Amino acid sequence: MNALTQQFTIEKAVSNLPAEELARSLADAQPAEIIAAALRTVGRDRLALVSSFGTESAALLKVMADVDPAIPVIFLDTGWIFEETLAYRDTLIERLGLRDVRSIKPVKETLAQKDPDGDLWFSNPDACCRIRKVEPLSRALEPFDAWINGRKRFQGGLRATIPVVEQHGARLKFNPFANASRQEIETIYENADLPPHPLVAAGFLSVGCMPCTSRTEAGEDARAGRWRGRAKTECGIHTTAST
């Protein structure tokens, strides 16, 4: 068996593995290797990367762009996104040469019916996230068999034990930065001279929707400013399986 045939055999074997076996085979892989494995597993047309274009998003987008800048990127434009985040999205698209970024919005009729006054975020933040993020993402992922996201174990909470690959409903979910340290993320920014999110300098270490995002105080966890004062720590796109 020559080297080319051997490599094809290995790649074909990886592409047929279920989530748990993929997670084991990629447990010590670098982020770029995990993204490349995702491509081999389902192909570009069936793979998407979901990005908030938040404070750490540029690192994952940079790694993805180095592997294949044409992988579709899904951005959830909830209607409550900071203007700075929208501008940052456009900056990174141009800077990294991203070729297929899709901004997905909530259904207008759903907003009119369930959040006519725009205050659902206050009375029922879970319901707000559901109609502005969870449902739009479920719709956006319909053409895909797998998706990539930027969660990291060092973020703690429900993220502390995430595997490199997991089954999420009917789809595979790849977590290329599961094993990454904060220093490794910072090194990617430094080596690629990536611009920081504009709100970082103002004390926002994790940025989501405007009403549910606040500045992080000294000594607090980076995500402490999300849904401050509530037990809620996730929007639901990672805890609600899409069909």
Beta strands in the chain (DSSP E): 47-50, 73-76, 101-104, 146-148, 165-168, 171-174
Burial 106-133 (b: 16+ CB within 10 A, else e): beeeebeebbeeeebbeeebeebbbbbb
| Residue 236, phi-psi category: left (phi > 0), alpha (psi -120 to 50), beta (remainder) | left
Sheet of 47-50, strands arranged across = 101-104, 73-76, 47-50, 146-148, 171-174, 165-168
The burial class, CB within 10 Å (0-12 / 13-18 / 19+), for 190 is exposed
Burial 160-170 (b: 16+ CB within 10 A, else e): eebbbbbbbee
Question: For the chain, how many residues are written?
Answer: 243
HSE on the CB side for 175, CA within 13 Å?
25
* Catalytic-role residue among 128, 129, 212, 235: 235
235 catalytic, yes or no?
A: yes
Please identify every residue annotated as catalytic: 235
